[in-house]
Amino acid sequence: MDFILILKAIMLGLVEGATEFLPISSTGHLIIVGDLIDFLDKEKRDVFEIVIQLGSILSVVWLYQHRFKTVVRTIASDQQSQKFALQLFVAFLPLAVLGLLFHSNKSGFIQSKFCRNCFNRWWLHYFVCRKIVT
Residue 122 belongs to some domain of the structure? yes
Q: What is the pTM of this model?
A: 0.57
Q: What is the average pLDDT score of the chain? A: 78
H helix and E strand count, the chain: 7, 0
Cα 75 to Cα 56, 67, 70, 132, distances in angstroms: 26, 11, 8, 20
In the three-class reduction of DSSP (H, G, I as helix; E, B as strand; rest coil), residue 25 is classed as coil
pLDDT digits (tens, 9 = 90+) for 30-67: 888 888 999 988 888 888 888 888 888 888 889 889 98
Residue 70 belongs to some domain of the structure? no
**Angle of CA points 31, 52, 39, to nearest 5°:** 40
pLDDT band at 114 (very low <50, low <70, confident <90, very high): low
Q: Which one is predicted more confidently, 79 or 117?
A: 79
Residue 69 belongs to some domain of the structure? no
Domain boundary among 13, 37, 63: 63
Mean pLDDT of 87-91: 85
The number of distinct structural domains making up the chain is 2
The answer to whether residues 59 and 82 belong to one domain is no
User: What residues make up the domain containing 40?
Assistant: 1-63
| Residue 105 pLDDT greater than 80, yes or no | no
The answer to whether residues 36 and 82 belong to one domain is no
